[in-house]
Amino acid sequence: MRADRQDTPRSRDDATPDLRLATEETTPQEQELPRDHSQAILEAAKQVGAILKRAGHRFALAGSVAVYAHGGSSRLQHDADFCVLPEDAEAVAASLREAGLDVRLPPEDWLLKTRCFDQDVDIIFELAHRPVTVDLLARAEELPVDSVHMPVLSATDVLVSLNSAFSEHHCDFGAVLPVARALREKVDWGDVRRRCADEPMPAAFLFLLERLNVIEPDQPSADRWEQP
């Protein structure tokens, strides 16, 4: 026989969930980690981008999150990347620390590292062995990254940076091929060739894109394939 249930009045404290006011300040480390890895990287990029915007720093989003902002895959890889000027690196690090993020100096002398939402965030001041410049940041496009608008490297500069990074020790064409396919309509391929094609590995990747009909061949390449 089921016992009679006695309803006891609940206090207001018991009935109301423990919510934080939107005005209450929390550091990025205190906020709840998104369950999805790609979403966690995206949230980290949004958080750091918002910090840099509020502080008035010159910067541009790079890497896989920049590809996403241009319409590429939402399956983000590894970390979030931001480009800043070399002379602004210390000021950027100070702003991140003021916002509650730890900033560390890795052995590499061309970037700073931090973590947000338990994701790595790289603050880069040398991109593909070349210093970040005012001109590079000036070419960035203001794009929405999920719900936050921020400067994003142009699609052409994204491809130049990825292509220029190829070397005999790092030559994973398969990772960059989907990016080239996704962004091909937004990229100035003539500019990519002018800036990359003198090096053998970047030139090989451009040749692969031509043979796969991802991009149109340049005139010298077309001449090579003409029959006498």
Confidence of residue 14 (pLDDT cuts 50, 70, 90): very low
Q: What is the pLDDT of residues 67-86, one digit of tens each?
A: 999 999 888 877 899 999 99
pTM for the model stands at 0.79
* Mean pLDDT for the stretch of residues 136-152: 96
| 34-153: CATH, from 1.10.10.10, 2.40.30.170, 3.30.460.40, 3.30.420.40 | 3.30.460.40
Token digits for 227? Answer: 């029959």
Distance in angstroms (rounded) separating the CA atoms of residues 63 and 219: 30
Confidence of residue 57 (pLDDT cuts 50, 70, 90): very high
Q: What is the pLDDT of residues 16-34, one digit of tens each?
A: 334 333 334 555 554 555 5
Q: What is the pLDDT of residues 164-193, one digit of tens each?
A: 999 888 889 999 999 999 999 999 999 999
* Mean pLDDT for the stretch of residues 125-148: 94
> What average pLDDT does the chain have?
85
Per-residue confidence (pLDDT) for residue 32, from 0 to 100: 56
Q: What are the distances in angstroms from CA 115 to CA 86, 104, 121, 204?
A: 20, 9, 6, 35
Residue of 200, 166, 199, 198 whose CA lies nearest to 180: 166
Q: What are the distances in angstroms from CA 121 to CA 66, 114, 125, 132?
A: 13, 5, 13, 17
